[in-house]
Amino acid sequence: MKQRRAGIVLGTLLVATTASATTARDASIAAMADRLAAQGVDRGYVLDVMAQAKTLDSVLNAMRRPAERKAWRDYRPIFLKPERVTAAQRFYETHRETLVRAEATYGVPIPVILSIIGVETYYGRNKGSFRVIDALSTLAFDYPPRAEFFQRELEQLFLLSREETLDPTSLKGSYAGAMGFGQFIPSSYRAYAVDFDRDGTRDLIGNPVDAIGSVANYLAVHGWDANYGIAAPVQNGAAAVEKMEAAVRVERSKDSLVALGVQGIPEAWSALPLDVLGLQGANGDEHWVVTKNFYVITRYNRSPLYAMAVTQLASEINTALGL
């Protein structure tokens, strides 16, 4: 009897928890629909699209196991492969004029643009197979650590879809809702995408010309400086590193780093704000002095490992293209 009663109480609690989660979700969706309606998006349309959104365990699993949690020695080989450099060369041959125009327009070097598109999607080969609406709604309502962020992106998706005449129920992207050759999330797409072939639409998914211009524009707006390099290996850098493989701020002077014993900082960088990044390499710890441009790459993806992979792949592409 006691057991039976405990069972009933537990059952009631479970039902209550599920019901309140559903209510909270419905309330969030209703509030989002209200905000979108105030901006002229049909409220019923928003609710109809959201009713088609599926919660995906595969999205939650991918979010909990990002590649960026690996050490540099295991992360680097994922991206620094000869085949990716070959693919970059092919993409360059196909889109040479566009890349030259993007570098001239935005001041971002061709190998850096190529490297980002290569790391993000292997030149459009892997643009993501999740429905963006499913990915974003899963993370918005079933992933509490980033719920606020992804609820904003979900709302941005509706605004983007209206602006660019996209169907939010058929758009595909990554498990985090990033789309197209350069993997832009909806807010970035709205803010930084450019119509680089001037056909009247900003298409980052089907149009490599728009995607190339948009990646360059993204880096330019975030402060890319054509006069800076990106990163250079240094010796005796350990004392300048607080935490290995941690984010860099790039607010230190060359003199302050030299005073800590760092050796090998390029002469040309004497007057630039710098930082030192420590990485766990295949042959032990590595130390790199980095400039503001390295920081700009981390505006694309916060991980310093990502930024270093982009930097090193860009260098290999640069060599391969003879630029």
Are 182 and 210 in contact by the 8 Å Cβ rule? The answer is no
Closest among 148, 145, 184, 144 to 166, alpha carbons compared = 184
CA angle 280, 124, 56 (to 5 degrees): 75
Least Å distance between CB 102 and Ca ion?
13
Q: Which is nearer to Ca ion, 153 or 210 (CB)?
A: 210
Positive or negative, the Cα torsion across 261, 264, 269, 273?
negative
Q: Which is nearer to Ca ion, 195 or 225 (CB)?
A: 195
Least Å distance between CB 195 and Ca ion?
4
Residue numbers 138-157 binding Ca ion by CB under 5 A? none
User: Both tokens of residue 255?
Assistant: 């003199």
The rounded distance, in Å, linking the Cα atoms of 198 and 205 is 16
Size of residue set near Ca ion by CB under 5 A: 4
129, amino acid identity? S
Q: Which is nearer to Ca ion, 164 or 225 (CB)?
A: 164
The rounded distance, in Å, linking the Cα atoms of 179 and 204 is 7
The rounded distance, in Å, linking the Cα atoms of 13 and 30 is 25
Least Å distance between CB 258 and Ca ion?
48
| DSSP three-state, residue 5 | helix
Residue numbers 180-209 binding Ca ion by CB under 5 A? 195, 197, 199
The rounded distance, in Å, linking the Cα atoms of 204 and 218 is 13
Least Å distance between CB 202 and Ca ion?
6
Residue in 103, 120, 153, 210 binding Ca ion, rule: CB under 5 A: 210
User: What are the residue numbers of the active site?
Assistant: 120
Q: Which is nearer to Ca ion, 142 or 197 (CB)?
A: 197
Are 131 and 169 in contact by the 8 Å Cβ rule? The answer is yes
Site string for Ca ion, 85-114 (x = CB under 5 A): ------------------------------
Least Å distance between CB 198 and Ca ion?
7
Q: Which is nearer to Ca ion, 210 or 245 (CB)?
A: 210
* Site for Ca ion, rule CB under 5 A: 195, 197, 199, 210
